[in-house]
Amino acid sequence: MDNLIFARNLVKGKIAETIFAQMLRETKDFTVLEFGYEKIIPELVQQGYDENNLMLETLRTAPDFAVINQKTREVRLIEVKYQRTINYDYVLKYAEKMSQSWNPSYLFVATLDGFYFDEINNVINDKGRISPLKHPQISNDLQDKYLKILTDFEKNN
């Protein structure tokens, strides 16, 4: 049973990542690059790096994406998480963990109530409170479209 719960949570996390990436790509205003350790570490280990290497340990906490805003040329490192409903204690704990190696970086949380996004230092200063996603390039209609995908998936599983 534990394996089934783990698998479901893994799938939900991947769905949140996919929703995030596709939503941003659909705006045509962002370049979304997969950045997380799942993409980097296997290649480094294959190249002969020891899995206990300190650099690899830092990379284990790497955010999921590097996102380039085409208008401002700004690059942001963004970790994506899924939660059925927002849990501020979990958000705070995760922001604190990220701040140890990846500061500045950002946290995007997909929930059935909507999407949240903030810089990790703001999350830490606000004791885990994270702002609803509000961005001039990501309309409410676009967010609603992707939120429906998430809620439809959750209803059926």
Q: Cα(115)–Cα(108) distance, rounded to whole angstroms? A: 7
pLDDT of 63-99, one tens digit each? Answer: 999 999 999 999 999 999 999 999 999 999 999 999 9
- 100 Cα distance to chain centroid: 17
Token representation of residue 134: 């509000």
Alpha-carbon separation of residue 21 from 69, 91, 124, 127 (angstroms): 13, 20, 24, 27
- 133 Cα distance to chain centroid: 13
Q: What topology does CATH give the domain 2-153?
A: Trna Endonuclease; Chain: A, domain 1 (3.40.1350)
Whether pLDDT at 51 is above 80: no
What is the reported pLDDT for 1?
55
For residue 42, cis peptide bond before it (omega within 30 degrees of 0): no
Strands laid side by side in the 30-34 sheet = 30-34, 65-69, 75-82, 106-111, 114-119
pLDDT of 57-73, one tens digit each? Answer: 777 788 999 999 999 99
What is the reported pLDDT for 33?
94
Domain ranges of the chain: 2-153
- Whole-prediction pTM value? 0.89
Residues in the chain: 157
Q: Cα(20)–Cα(127) distance, rounded to whole angstroms? A: 24
What is the reported pLDDT for 21?
97
